[in-house]
A and B are shown apart, each in its own frame.
Chain A
Amino acid sequence: MRVLKTTSYDAPRTDGFAFTAENKAKADAYRARYPEGREASAVLWLLYLAQEQNDGWVSNDAIEYVAAELGMAPIRVYEVASFYTMFNLRPVGRYLVQVCRTTSCWMRGSDAITKACLEEAGTASLGEVSDDGVFSVVEVECLGACCNAPMFQVNDRNYFEDLTPESARAVMAKLRAGEEVKPGSQSGRAGSEPQDGAKTLLHLAQSPAPAGEGA
């Protein structure tokens, strides 16, 4: 029998959460986008702000803080935060590595990428935070970079594409060392162009079209 791991919501508590002055101003601006009495519509914006401020995850207090900010019952915010997988309800590493595992990436070897990432992070299972607090690795559904599969995303921002287990490890090693890494394709191709050179419109390069043709 499979037992669900979560029993309601048992995230570890942190002591108190409040927006910084800067985030508070942002939150007020988000809230002002919606008509009076509909402030609850800003819940996703505020949760994102809270997640950003709270080292990449939304704590119990952050959820209750957001609820109070918007005049919502805490359970309503919990519902939203637990529905969307983009909100992390548990602490994450400084770098959250989200490995895409949907069809294109999976067929191009995402399982091996995940394994390499876990090894590089030094964690035994998905979602676990590495002992040094630098990494946590999770699998996610399609991130929309199928042309450059397989790939992972770091901290909701940067896509690292065309990965091999080696290049995935290399990216993570650089992140750990604090060195600069270049997002995008790790195999060196530009954008989503074919991996081994141009495949179409070759005639344009090889033999310029005769003048007058196609007129």
Chain B
Amino acid sequence: MPKLTIDDKEIEVPAGVTVLQACEMAGAEIPRFCYHERLSVAGNCRMCLVELERAPKPIASCAMPVGEGMVIRTDSEKIRKARNGVMEFLLINHPLDCPICDQGGECDLQDQAMAYGFDHSRFEENKRAVPEKYMGPLIKTIMTRCIHCTRCVRFATEIAGVEDIGLLNRGEHAEISTLERAIDSELSGNLVDVCPVGALTSAPYQFAARPWELRKTLSIDVMDAVGSNIRVDARGRHVMRVLPRLHEGINEEWIADKTRHACDGLARQRLDRPYVRGADGRLKAASWSEAFSAVAARLKGTDGKKIAAIAGDLCDAESMLALKDLMANLGSPNLDCRQDGATVGEGPRSSYLFNSSIAGIERADAVLIVGSNPRWEAPMVNARIRKRFLQTGMPVGVIGENVDLTYQTQYLGAGPETLKELAEGRHPFAEVLEKATHPMLILGSGALARADGPAILALARALAEKAGMVKEASGDEPAWNGFNVLQRAASRVAGLDIGFLPGEGGRATAEILSGAESGEIEVVYLLGADELDTARLAKAFVIYQGHHGDAGAQAADVILPGAAYTEKNGTFVNTEGRVQLGRLAVFPPGEAREDWTILRALSGELGEALPYDNLGMLRASLVERCPVFAAIDQIEPAAWEPFGQDGSVDSAPFVMPIANYYMTDPISRSSETMARCTEALNKGAEKATGTDG
């Protein structure tokens, strides 16, 4: 632990940190452009100069490791002058277009120029201008503003794992380039965040708003089951943009492109008033009381066994609990939160959680991915696996489709047979897993959402036990559970936690659909469920409660307009089992209401009001019945209990459930930006039409 003196203050720092980090620890702020905590050190902007005693000239603190007894000054006149000089050089070719720049107000260069810039320019020659580059539908470039820090190059290469960006030419002619190709990454939106100036800005957000006009709400993302922490920036009643929020356990400081850019879908195709299908078969706008009485009229006298409910992928826990209670009042055991038709999840918590936690991936030393494409199903999880892969070069085996995951993988096989070989120890990779101290298995919905799901779950469990993936804590070593199920739907874990599952003698999704076809199910309540074959519900009376006019609404007889995730206070549980609170950023449009209030109001109309009058009472009820909801943002390790069901497995290969990353739910399907991304980046997905999951 070297000791050094920073601005007359003695401080002891861990060996191996840089002078810049040591200065931060000592509370001295160091300006920087090229340095970024999560990227490699480039040392090319020279803004972080500090004075080192006995050094002949100022040093770039970001690239200098600390040494014993160093005496550093960060605030001397000499340093100030040096930084002023660096700033003057940076501004030589930087245009003075802050008033029309989208970065204005949140620009590192602007802020630091306030501290270190001159009030006038001594540069009388012409400035250089650089032509714009094409970087895909998400990133707008104004390359004249670029200061060549190469953060974008390093982010793409190191974090996103796509070598698409580079710095061409040299000296005054240096320019960032993608060779005029779109950046083929699900994390490309983060390039805008790492760019310290306005060279890379968000294309969908261009000229939309100024940062000081926006109302910022800290919330949770629902585009996948990772539960990335986000900040929703809204102006008036519009969500203008979504930005990442730091959470070391989940998304670090990045978010995926769908999380960031699907928000323009919140303003399109919205259900802003109730609708009732008239005698002529057309949906007609109605008032809430008309819609409720239409529902009440249909439900009156209908046997509970003929009523069913399916919850979709974006639902909050509160509305699912309210619907569950409503179905109990109606005497219906037919409810399911697994609209993809999976039949697993009824077992203990450890059978459906990402038990190792996302941060726990950084302890793993061998990974087996089964029936999953984490790059599309959970980009933040994939980024974590890549991070760990870069640290250790750990072996990663893949069973399922052989896709490019941005790190090196070993392709083991396409289907359950390979998994069986591994579980029985007949496959060479089984040895790799057994030798590892922290082996990890990631089981995706491509493997579980099929008829033989329970048997595959049992196989995976057998493999986990055989390879020693579940370990008690011993000595200094904390416990390890490498058995991971990677969920895809934001609502799934909460739904399973509260038991939004078929009751005694109840039907699961597949049986609800077949029952609706045969007439055994007469009423189906869809709570934001759109990724279904809604044509099979044609005979049934369909009540659709949701926020977008998607597949579910088209098949509905009554539409009850609900709130999207940015418009309600809702609880979500991510794939790790982490309970997080999403917050209301804007109010739902028109007549739409928060989902649990609709169910509460409807229950009153049907005769027996649900026993909660406000969100607090509903949450209290939630916690009472399911104590995990009490611990916000914490992970309670799930007990390792028996689950799965031995049985024969189908040898059909695992099929990836997502055909198009950019369109997986009603919000992203309504988003113009996501449509552009699909066009530019998802070639080959032409076969994927509207409602693929």
Contact = CB atoms under 8 A, between A and B. Distances in A.
Contact of B129 (A2, A6, A74, A78): A2
Given A3-B131, A75-B178, A8 B168 contact: yes
Contacts of A215: none
A2 B178 contact: no
A73 B163 contact: yes
A4 B128 contact: yes
A209 interface: no
A31 B163 CA distance: 22
Contact of B179 (A2, A3, A4, A78): A78
A79 interface: yes
Nearest to B128: A2
Contacts of B130: 3-4
Contact of A75 (B133, B166, B175): B166
A8 B133 contact: yes
B465 interface: no
Given A73-B163, A79-B167, A83-B169, A8 B129 contact: no
A74 B184 CA distance: 14
B166 A78 contact: yes
A7 interface: yes
A76 B127 contact: no
Contacts of A83: 168-170
B421 interface: no
A8 B166 CA distance: 10
Contact of A76 (B128, B131, B166, B173): B166
**Most chain A CB within a 10 A radius of its CB, from B126, B133, B164, B168:** B168
A12 B184 CA distance: 24
Interface in A197-213: none
Nearest to A8: B177
B127 A1 contact: yes
A3 B177 contact: no
Interface string A1-24: 111101111000000000000000
A158 interface: no
Contacts of B646: none
Contacts of B178: 8, 75
Contacts of A74: 179
Contacts of A82: 168-170
Given A75-B163, A75-B165, A78-B168, A9 B129 contact: no
A75 B167 CA distance: 9
Nearest to A1: B129
A3 B175 CA distance: 12
Main secondary structure of the interface of B (DSSP, over half): loop
Contacts of B127: 1-2
A48 B649 CA distance: 57
A78 B177 CA distance: 10
Interface residues of A, number: 16
B131 A7 contact: yes
A79 B168 CA distance: 5
Main secondary structure of the interface of A (DSSP, over half): mixed
Nearest to B167: A79
B180 interface: yes
A83 B177 CA distance: 13
A6 B128 contact: no
A10 to B, nearest CB: 8
A6 B130 CA distance: 9
A78 B164 CA distance: 11
Contact size range, B: 20 to 34
Interface in A55-110: 73-76, 78-79, 82-83
Contacts of A2: 126-129
A8 B130 CA distance: 10
A138 to B, nearest CB: 15
Contacts of A9: 168, 177, 179
Given A6-B173, A83-B170, A75 B164 contact: yes
Contacts of B177: 8-9, 75, 78
B150 to A, nearest CB: 11
B168 A4 contact: no
Contacts of A6: 168-169, 173, 175
Contacts of B168: 6, 8-9, 78-79, 82-83
Contact of B126 (A1, A73, A78): A1
Interface string B131-174: 10100000000000000000000000000000111111110010
B267 to A, nearest CB: 34
B404 to A, nearest CB: 13
B675 to A, nearest CB: 26
B126 A79 contact: no
A79 B167 CA distance: 6
Interface in B118-132: 126-131
Interface string B24-43: 00000000000000000000
Nearest to B164: A75
A179 B170 CA distance: 38
B403 to A, nearest CB: 18
A9 B166 CA distance: 11
B5 to A, nearest CB: 40
Nearest to A3: B129
Contacts of B165: 75
Nearest to A74: B179
A2 B169 CA distance: 16
A82 B169 CA distance: 5
B93 to A, nearest CB: 10
B163 A76 contact: yes
Contacts of B129: 1-4
A1 B128 CA distance: 6
B179 A8 contact: yes
Contact of B180 (A3, A8, A73, A76): A8
Contacts of A79: 166-168
A43 B180 CA distance: 23
Nearest to B162: A73
Contacts of A4: 128-131, 173, 175
Nearest to A79: B166
A74 B127 CA distance: 31
A76 to B, nearest CB: 6
A82 B171 CA distance: 11
A148 B168 CA distance: 34
A1 B166 CA distance: 25
Contacts of B164: 73, 75
Nearest to B170: A83
Contacts of B175: 4, 6, 8
A88 B334 CA distance: 71
Indicate the member of B126, B164, B166 with the most A CB atoms within 10 Å: B166
Most buried by B among A1, A3, A4, A9: A4
Contacts of A8: 133, 168, 175, 177-180
14 contacts: A1-B129, A2-B126, A3-B128, A3-B129, A3-B130, A4-B130, A9-B168, A74-B179, A75-B179, A76-B166, A79-B166, A79-B168, A82-B168, A83-B168
Rank and list the top 8 A-B pairs by shortest CB-CB distance, nearest first.
A73-B163, A75-B166, A8-B177, A7-B131, A82-B168, A79-B166, A3-B129, A82-B169
Interface of B: 126-131, 133, 163-170, 173, 175, 177-180
Given A1-B126, A3-B130, A6-B175, 8 more contacts: A6-B169, A7-B133, A8-B168, A8-B177, A8-B180, A74-B179, A79-B166, A79-B168
